A and B are shown apart, each in its own frame.
Chain A
């Protein structure tokens, strides 16, 4: 049986843990709103970009000599898997879930005899992947200095990606991130970045209908616009992934910390009960000693 002093120490330690988790919960709740707004504000651009690309892509996809960003390098031997996670812990299963999804994909590719390279964004996914796939990790992007995520933060990653692609270091790039649905649900998502996946046949007729049969005039021409647009699209998709991730992280953190705070509360209640019982037992035995001592006289 633990002594009164031991119990007191444990209660105090759980109490201070609870203070930390409840503070983190509050911080996450405040940050969540901002992150969510940012993620939602960025959606229109990404959606319109997708529309434009689909329209343009269909116009040039059948022509020979199209950009490898659009039609691919013609093989899929080397795949770059980008795993975006968070910089900090205390966010429940957020990073684990993303890594789990990425792991399934990596195992699948490896089983198919392909080569896999991994790029980690954020400290936590790196820590999780390092042990099993250490030799495949080609880099880790540190986002800890980033206070509020801007497009300028996604751009360098995209530029690096483009350089690597041009040097022929990979054929396909896939991004793993967590899509924000609500504070309770975040969906680990896989998205192919390169080559750009075109929305397929279902949208085929839409652009034509919208224009009432007319076709776009391109200035300068389709190819040069695409050349400019495709690299930007990569950056936009990464940016969107990072924004969704930021919102998801805060959501996951809030939920996890809420649970942790509640658990801590339960433990404190239980320990307090034990503490009081022990105290009472000590008092009772002392009383018995005194009374029986007095009776013996």
Chain B
């Protein structure tokens, strides 16, 4: 058995990561799960959360935030089609806090249900992100 798997992270804008990894932890919609080389084929929806990747030539895990999407584990490796993905290092905690507060206010003020549902969706991933940041 091989000791690494091919990991690809793509967002609609671009291919973010294309690397060999030894372990990837993926935030599946039914719960987090780890993918090791030789994992059985799985296709799963993602919830907003942190993907943590351990590269084959590194010891520490790299953490990336994904805002929902789809993960596909095949024989060739793991492919994540993220709705939006960002590096955890590039996020400003204060700015996020501000945005979170703003969105909460907007939800209170929202008049129609469609707008409200959209804002609640926004809030959901922002909360997940701020929790991930705190952890």
Contacts and interface: CB of A to CB of B under 8 A. Distances in A.
Contact of B13 (A150, A219, A232): A150
Contact of B29 (A214, A220, A232): A220
Given A210-B76, A225-B70, A217 B43 contact: yes
B10 A44 contact: yes
Contacts of B15: 41, 44-45
B75 interface: yes
Contacts of A150: 13
Given A52-B70, A52-B72, A236-B12, A219 B28 contact: yes
Interface stretch (B51-59, B79-87, B124-132): B79-87
Nearest to A225: B45
Contacts of B75: 210-212, 214
Contacts of B12: 42, 45-46, 151, 235-236, 239
B84 A151 contact: yes
Classify the interface of chain A: helix, strand, loop or mixed: helix
Interface string A172-214: 0000000000000000000000000000000000000011101
A12 to B, nearest CB: 46
B27 to A, nearest CB: 12
Contacts of B44: 218-220, 225
Interface residues of B, number: 25
B103 interface: no
A56 interface: yes
B134 interface: no
B41 A45 contact: no
Contact of A38 (B11, B13, B29, B76): B13
B93 interface: no
Interface string B11-24: 11111000000000
A217 B81 contact: no
16 contacts: A41-B15, A42-B14, A44-B14, A48-B72, A150-B13, A210-B74, A212-B75, A214-B40, A214-B41, A218-B44, A219-B29, A219-B30, A225-B45, A229-B70, A235-B12, A236-B12
Given A216-B41, A218-B43, A239-B12, 16 more contacts: A41-B13, A45-B12, A48-B81, A52-B43, A151-B12, A151-B13, A151-B84, A210-B74, A211-B41, A212-B75, A216-B72, A219-B30, A219-B45, A225-B70, A228-B70, A229-B70
